[in-house]
Chains A and B, each alone.
Chain A
Amino acid sequence: AQKITQTQPGMFVQEKEAVTLDCTYDTSDQSYGLFWYKQPSSGEMIFLIYQGSYDEQNATEGRYSLNFQKARKSANLVISASQLGDSAMYFCAMREGLSGNKLVFGAGTILRVKS
């Protein structure tokens, strides 16, 4: 079974508008962490935001926020006030369990910001 599912292969958003990128995950562990990374065309993976399974507040980092719904096992990324430079591939990832040492990534969503 897929651990991380990103159902949107591609998304378009108008500059200055907000966009939500979906991520659902599958784990039986109570302790886990969820990450979002951005990969521009240059190829380097850039960390954006983290949410822990026990965090009561949704994580926020500048224009990025994470809509964490634990019961639904979803961790959607919200980008506010989109900029042209936000055009990139976005990956959701999970580290699970007390012995989880690696990140497992989803297939990604490509975001295009239109001017």
Chain B
Amino acid sequence: DTGVSQDPRHKITKRGQNVTFRCDPISEHNRLYWYRQTLGQGPEFLTYFQNEAQLEKSRLLSDRFSAERPKGSFSTLEIQRTEQGDSAMYLCASSPGVGQFNEKLFFGSGTQLSVL
């Protein structure tokens, strides 16, 4: 198992620009999650997919944020018209998706976004 990979590791952008992050989950994992983590805080849930279906979105996910998971494999998270408040670590996680309580999430190393 190659683990969850995220690209890029770091992204610096100017306010108002659009950015897109990619996440490749562990193969055969049906569920894919996006979280956001600011300095000194725990990860905050943004959204999750079961295969290609986006089943839940947090209120944190404003209309400037969009996530996709075409074909139920990799996922992208796009932020349009970035704001300084979007600066954070964006974490992707995947899980087998069999619906057990003890199903743990496997996390990637994250994408650190800095909006100048």
Q: Chain A: residues with CB nearer than 8 A to chain B? A: 4, 31-33, 35, 37, 42-47, 50, 52-53, 91, 93, 95, 100-108
Known contacts: A43-B110, A44-B110, A45-B107. The answer to whether A101 contacts B56 by CB under 8 A is yes
CB of B11 to closest CB in A, whole Å: 14
Chain A residues, CB < 8 A from B91: 45
CB closest residue in chain A, given B111: A43
Give the docked Cα–Cα distance between A31 and B102 (Å). 11
Q: Is the CB of B42 within 8 A of A108?
A: yes
CA A100 – CA B108 in complex, angstroms? 21
Whole-angstrom distance between the Cβ of B104 and the nearest chain A Cβ: 5
CB <8 Å contact, B55 and A101: yes
Contacts of A43 in B (CB 8 A): 89, 109-110, 112
8 A Cβ contacts from B68-116 to A: 89, 91, 93, 101-110, 112
- Asked if B101 and A52 sit within 8 Å, CB to CB, the answer is yes
Given A47, A102, A107, which contacts B41 in the complex, CB threshold below 8 Å?
A: A107
Task: Tell me how many residues of B have a C-beta within 8 Å of chain A.
Answer: 27
The docked-state distance in angstroms from the alpha carbon of A46 to that of B41 is: 16
Known contacts A44-B107, A45-B43: does B48 contact A33 (CB below 8 Å)? no
Closest residue of chain A to B50, judged by CB?
A: A101
Interface secondary structure of B, over-half rule: strand
Taken together as a complex, chains A and B put the C-alpha atoms of A42 and B105 apart, in Å, by 18
Residues of B within 8 A of A102 (CB): 33, 45, 48, 56
A50 to B42, CA, bound (A): 18
List, in ascending order, chain A residues with CB within 8 A of B104's CB.
35, 47, 50
Contacts A45-B91, A91-B42, A101-B56; A33 near B107 (Cβ below 8 A): no
Interface: B31 (CB within 8 A): yes
- With beta carbons under 8 angstroms apart, the residue of B41, B43, B48 that contacts A101 is B48
Q: Shortest CB–CB separation between residue B34 and chain A, in angstroms?
A: 10
**What residues on B are CB-neighbors of A46 within 8 Å?**
107
> A33 touches which one: B31, B40, B101, B112 (CB < 8 A)?
B101
Cα distance A42–B31 when bound, in Å?
Answer: 24
Q: Which of B9-54 contact A (CB under 8 A)?
A: 31, 33, 35, 40-45, 48, 50
